[in-house]
Amino acid sequence: MYFAALLARTEDGWEASDTELDDVETLSDLTDLAREASEEDTVLVLIEQEDAWFGVVRVDGEEDPRIYVSDAAAAARSSYGEILLTDELLGRDPGDDDADLDSLDLDGTEDGEPDDANDSEDDEEEEESVSGEIVSHSPVGDREILADLGVSEKELLALDEGDALSTIAEALGAAEVLETVR
């Protein structure tokens, strides 16, 4: 289950709005959606997948969006998470989506024969793949995304996926407005 909301900072405080991401296919679409909420002020897009990962996209006016994702591998399994996991965020060169086929071990076997030994590997040790690249179960992005708003890097990294957005909203003084759209 997903939850997404926009928090826009105004002269009167924070305003929250529930947002549908069904029509959002790219980070650019998400940024445009945030700018529609407020063209000049700070807008935070808060996204969470229940107990798996959360993400924050910060848009300040016309500046490039800043992104933080709590668990890159978990987000990679999500269509909304894939929007946030840009090449830059994952530390790869733009356009490197084409993997060298000679370097790929597509099924872990020779000649396509099944290998029962691979079936016993622990799923927790496996990492997710995005466009042929390995993505770890670690936070990625701007860890200081909320530092000037009252959530330090240390506090952000310590957040539990289950209640992260509520904790962030509370630190911003926006807990009540966020709860109205939940």
pLDDT digits (tens, 9 = 90+) for 41-62: 999 999 999 889 999 999 999 9
pTM for the structure as a whole: 0.79
- pLDDT, one tens digit per residue, over 86-127 is 988 988 876 655 444 344 344 444 444 444 444 444 444 344
For 134-182, the pLDDT digits (tens) are 788 899 999 999 999 999 999 999 998 889 999 999 999 999 999 999 8
96 Cβ contact partners less than 8 Å away, ≥ 6 residues apart = 87, 133
Burial class (CB in 10 A: 0-12, 13-18, 19+), 21: middle
Instruction: Please give the pLDDT value at position 133.
Output: 61
